[in-house]
Amino acid sequence: MAKITIRDVAREAGVSISTVSNALNDVDVLNPATKLHVLEVAERLNYVPNLNGKMLKSGKTMMLGFFTTSVSGPYFYKLIETMSRQCERHGYGLNVFVTKDKQVIMSNILGRRVDGVIIYEELKIDEHDIEIMQKDKIKAVFLDRAFSNDTMGSVTFDSYAAGYEAAKYLIGLGHKRIAYISGVDTMFDSVRRRDGYLAALKEYGLPFDGDYVIQGYFEEDSTFNAIKAFIRMHASKLPTAFLAGNDLSAMGCVQALKAHGYEVPGDVSVVGFDDIDIAQYFSPPLTTVRNPIARQAILTVDHLVRMIQGKEEGQSQTLTGELIVRASSHVPVD
Amino acid sequence: MAKITIRDVAREAGVSISTVSNALNDVDVLNPATKLHVLEVAERLNYVPNLNGKMLKSGKTMMLGFFTTSVSGPYFYKLIETMSRQCERHGYGLNVFVTKDKQVIMSNILGRRVDGVIIYEELKIDEHDIEIMQKDKIKAVFLDRAFSNDTMGSVTFDSYAAGYEAAKYLIGLGHKRIAYISGVDTMFDSVRRRDGYLAALKEYGLPFDGDYVIQGYFEEDSTFNAIKAFIRMHASKLPTAFLAGNDLSAMGCVQALKAHGYEVPGDVSVVGFDDIDIAQYFSPPLTTVRNPIARQAILTVDHLVRMIQGKEEGQSQTLTGELIVRASSHVPVD
DNA sequence: CCTTTTTATAAAAACGTTTTTATGAAATTA
DNA sequence: TAATTTCATAAAAACGTTTTTATAAAAAGG
């Protein structure tokens, strides 16, 4: 009683395998009666087409690949859930690969396990890899960097502008000592937000103190620890505001400040990025620059699908943030 | 310049395709010189084997499938990241399917897109589906329910015991009015935690009030709203403790209480389940029953891989929680 | 009523691999 | 040296589909 194939259905129904295939794929070239009969037999035998055979022959897997080094945090799961739903809408599945192994990534992409790929992976794919992908006409959309050629697509968030806007907002409130909480330097978004922050400082003539860029890894708990250490070091003269590279680190920062007896925003203001779902329920509700994650997810999938269908060439789309002022920021006390 | 295949490599190297295959797959039957030459040519042509051809012929995809209806929240991304890493260790990839469409699930499973499946999906797969999977000798491990037969595996968390323990702990502190914040009734874990809680109430002779089971959907923000509504309704006589079905809802509950001016644990105690990473950094740090997610992930993948290798039959494994007492719970004030 | 077109189905080729079987040359044995 | 074994490689079959081509019967046209 091995796995039944199209051949078994054909034999049982007394027709050829091409007839079965046509019946199942709804190619209307068959006598309706035959088609019905075949379908009935297939149903009775619980026949399910083998996808590997199907994929090999058709050259299509009807799967999109999402390659990422991490799925931690609200940014990713919002992205993944929205992309998944959007894929389903187009008749595709989404294959999520969580790996840092470039070998794994490239062999899955070039080996055609998926029809198109979405890549978020912080610098690991280099120019040479991209060249190889171009030669193979791989359809790809990047989420963490923009492209100027027309074979690769990208849908990015303008993190530089967001960093600049957030810093400008704090400066506008009167803050003079503003610290930045970064991720790691391989994360494009972290670096660009920081650069925007630096640009604003410069524009308004505020001095930049190297100590004021704190590594928080974009996570709540590691930021919590980093800020506690920072507070111990700078207790005499704390910044009046922290600009955190994402909402999670903003939350960790707030917790650390509270743990040391500081009030937010009474003593210190904290601003984040992304506007993840929890941000508005946090205590205090977070001021943040909204990153339209769901929109990014939808645009990405739509763009990739159209690229696969040959309806569109790769293009760079940039989404801009929106400053959401809530309770975690205030004019400085001193 | 279409995609190059094993045939192109063979032609270019002046050998047969079987020789190329043997060289690439390291079958030591070849003259070392030939093998080296073939490898060199393959490298030069940037040959990457087509996975669909490979999968069809070998009958193996070297992929495990994870089917889930949601990836929201720390429970899932911890699970997914850990499972991914563990898969990689075994030479497998992890294919994450986020869908509620049973048709999608079944056709991917029965169509052999993956070599084995891990299923978390709250009641949608019924006995009949399982029967079909058994007939097809599908290797599967369930994360949300246990099995007594030996074709399906399961690695579950003993939520009933966890609910019982947590409630008993609160009762031991002296609490008499304890509310439970549930997910939805299709979630096994939510229901079992609640049943454990009810059992403890009964055992210690505490009355059960139907109003005291509040639906929070296992999310922070919806719980926040649900508890606010609950507080408005029951302001005169609030429970002295909330047992939340998971840490996220515990956090939402705390935020809602704070928003209404209650102190935790000063006025009200709150206890959660899971011990997600943030729990210890939350303010106040959460008392919770630790759910060994990473261990569940690793056990699951290991078990499934051994089932695929034929080294093991499906079996039910149960993990037990551990009560972690932190600052969010206290003896009642009245 | 014979030829052409249409219709319905079957047969065969193809997708890109791996694996089994075949083949011929070299090495070993008798 | 003839017969056997070993070695290295090639040829062919197979995996389960879809798609292209072929075939036979029925319908239409003159």
pLDDT one-digit tens code per residue, A256-272:
998 899 999 999 999 99
Q: What is the pLDDT of residue A305?
A: 97
Per-residue pLDDT, averaged over B284-289, amounts to 95
C-alpha–C-alpha distance, residues A187 and A174, integer Å? 30
SS (H, E, C) B241-260: EEEECCHHHHHHHHHHHHHC
Q: What is the pLDDT of residue A188?
A: 86
pLDDT tier for residue A1 given thresholds of 50, 70 and 90: low
Tell whether omega for the bond before A49 is within 30 degrees of 0, i.e. cis. Answer: no
C-alpha–C-alpha distance, residues A182 and A177, integer Å? 16
Cβ contact B161:B138 at 8 Å: no
Q: A99 and B88: CB-CB below 8 Å?
A: yes
With distances taken from each CA to the C1' atom of nucleotide D10, the closest residue turns out to be B16
Strand D bases within 7 angstroms of protein beta carbons: 7-12, 14-20
Return the residue in B98, B133, B138, B219 with the most chain A beta carbons within 10 A, the one to mutate for interface testing: B98
Q: Is A128 on the interface with B (CB under 8 A)?
A: no
Query: Which tokens go with B21?
Result: 């295959």
Q: Is the CB of A59 under 7 A from strand C?
A: yes
Helix B102-110 / helix B127-135 crossing angle, nearest 10 deg: 10
pLDDT tier for residue A334 given thresholds of 50, 70 and 90: low
Instruction: Tell how strand A93-98 and strand A322-324 pair up.
Output: unpaired
Q: A52 and B282: CB-CB below 8 Å?
A: no
- In the predicted model, is pLDDT for residue B63 greater than 70? yes
- What's the order of all strands across the beta sheet hosting B140-142? B93-98, B63-68, B116-120, B140-142, B152-157, B316-319
**Closest by Cα among A57, A61, A51 to A112:** A61
C-alpha–C-alpha distance, residues B213 and A279, integer Å? 27
Instruction: Mark which residues 67-106 of A lie under 8 Å from B by CB.
Output: 70-73, 76-78, 80-81, 84-85, 88, 93-99, 101, 104, 106
C-alpha–C-alpha distance, residues B19 and B21, integer Å? 5
**Closest by Cα among B162, B167, B168 to B192:** B162
Residue B4's SS3 state is: coil
pLDDT tier for residue A280 given thresholds of 50, 70 and 90: confident
pLDDT tier for residue B305 given thresholds of 50, 70 and 90: very high
Cβ contact A244:A271 at 8 Å: yes
Per-residue pLDDT, averaged over B245-271, amounts to 95
Which of A3, A81, A111 shows the shortest C-beta gap to B70?
A: A81
Residue A157's SS3 state is: strand
- In the predicted model, is pLDDT for residue B319 greater than 60? yes
Buried b (16+ CB within 10 A) or exposed e, B158-190: bbbbbbbbbbbbbbebebebbbbbbbeeebbbb
Q: Is the CB of A18 under 7 A from strand C?
A: yes
Instruction: Tell how strand B287-290 and strand B322-324 pair up.
Output: antiparallel
Q: For residue A45, give the chain B residue with the closest CA.
A: B132
A20 strand-pairing partners: none
pLDDT tier for residue A98 given thresholds of 50, 70 and 90: very high
Tell whether omega for the bond before A284 is within 30 degrees of 0, i.e. cis. Answer: yes
Span CA (B146) to C1' (D29), Å? 71
Helix spans in A260-329 (H): 293-308
C-alpha–C-alpha distance, residues B201 and B207, integer Å? 7
Span CA (B204) to C1' (D22), Å? 82
B257: how many CB neighbours lie within 10 A of its CB?
Answer: 21
Cβ contact A186:A123 at 8 Å: yes
Q: What is the pLDDT of residue B150?
A: 84
Q: Is the CB of B60 under 7 A from strand C?
A: no
Q: Is the CB of B51 under 7 A from strand C?
A: no
Instruction: Mark which residues 16-75 of B lie under 8 Å from A by CB.
Output: 46, 48-56, 61, 70-73
Cβ contact A257:A267 at 8 Å: yes
C-alpha–C-alpha distance, residues A102 and B296, integer Å? 27
Instruction: Mark which residues 178-217 of A lie under 8 Å from B by CB.
Output: none
For B136-178, write each residue's pLDDT tens digit. 999 999 998 888 888 999 999 999 999 999 999 999 999 999 9
The CA-to-CA distance between both ends of chain B, in Å, stands at 80
- In the predicted model, is pLDDT for residue A122 greater than 80? no
Cβ contact A312:A155 at 8 Å: no
Span CA (B239) to C1' (D22), Å? 81
For residue B80, count CB atoms less than 10 angstroms from its CB and return exposed for 0-12, middle for 13-18, buried for 19 or more: buried
Q: Which residues of A touch B89 (CB under 8 A)?
A: none
- In the predicted model, is pLDDT for residue B1 greater than 60? no
Cβ contact B196:B161 at 8 Å: yes
Q: Is the CB of A31 under 7 A from strand C?
A: yes
Q: B96 and A99: CB-CB below 8 Å?
A: no
Query: Which tokens go with A78?
Result: 């919002």
With distances taken from each CA to the C1' atom of nucleotide C16, the closest residue turns out to be B53
Side chain identity at residue B243, one-letter code = L
Percent of chain B past pLDDT 70, that is, above it, reads 99
pLDDT tier for residue B6 given thresholds of 50, 70 and 90: very high
B118 strand-pairing partners: B66, B141
Q: Which of A223-232, B26-35, B119-128, B292-301 has the lowest mean pLDDT?
A: B119-128
What distances in angstroms separate CA B314 from CA B2, B91, B113, B139, one per listed residue?
45, 21, 20, 8
| DSSP of B188-227 | HHHHHHHHHHHHHHHHTT----GGGEEE-TT-HHHHHHHH
- In the predicted model, is pLDDT for residue A43 greater than 90? yes
Buried b (16+ CB within 10 A) or exposed e, A30-60: beeebbebbbebbeeeebbbbbbbbbbeeee
Nearest nt to the B13 alpha carbon by C1': D9
Q: Is the CB of B6 under 7 A from strand C?
A: yes
pLDDT tier for residue B334 given thresholds of 50, 70 and 90: low
Residue B334's SS3 state is: coil
Query: Which tokens go with A303?
Result: 């763009």
Q: A77 and B72: CB-CB below 8 Å?
A: yes
Q: What is the pLDDT of residue B282?
A: 83
Q: Which residues of A touch B132 (CB under 8 A)?
A: 46
Nearest nt to the B9 alpha carbon by C1': C16
Q: What is the pLDDT of residue A311?
A: 94
Q: Quickly tell me which residue has 């929109």 as its tokens.
A: A295
Q: A84 and B99: CB-CB below 8 Å?
A: yes
- The secondary element (H helix, E strand) that includes residue A16 is none
- What's the order of all strands across the beta sheet hosting A178-182? A213-215, A178-182, A241-244, A269-274, A287-290, A322-324
Q: What is the pLDDT of residue A185?
A: 87
Percent of chain A past pLDDT 70, that is, above it, reads 99
Q: Which of A67-81, B171-185, B193-207 has the lowest mean pLDDT?
A: A67-81
Side chain identity at residue A312, one-letter code = E
What distances in angstroms separate CA A151 from CA A103, A125, A258, B50, one per listed residue?
22, 15, 49, 22
C-alpha–C-alpha distance, residues B152 and A111, integer Å? 32
Q: What is the pLDDT of residue B42?
A: 96
Query: Which tokens go with B302?
Result: 């290991």
- In the predicted model, is pLDDT for residue A304 greater than 80? yes
Which residues sit close to strand D, CB under 7 Å? A 3, 5-7, 17-18, 21-22, 24-25, 47, 49-50, 52-54, 56-58; B 14-19, 22, 29-31, 33-35, 56-57, 59
Q: What is the pLDDT of residue A144?
A: 84
C-alpha–C-alpha distance, residues B149 and B143, integer Å? 15
Q: What is the pLDDT of residue B129?
A: 92
Q: Quickly tell me which residue has 């644990």 as its tokens.
A: B265
Q: What is the pLDDT of residue A112?
A: 95
Q: Which residues of B touch A3 (CB under 8 A)?
A: 112, 136
Per-residue pLDDT, averaged over B280-284, amounts to 83
Q: Is the CB of B55 under 7 A from strand C?
A: no
A–B CB contacts, 8 A cutoff, strictly below: 143
Q: Which residues of A touch B48 (CB under 8 A)?
A: 106-107, 110-111
B328: how many CB neighbours lie within 10 A of its CB?
Answer: 27
Per-residue pLDDT, averaged over A168-187, amounts to 95
The rounded mean pLDDT for chain A is 94
Q: For residue B103, give the chain A residue with the closest CA.
A: A48
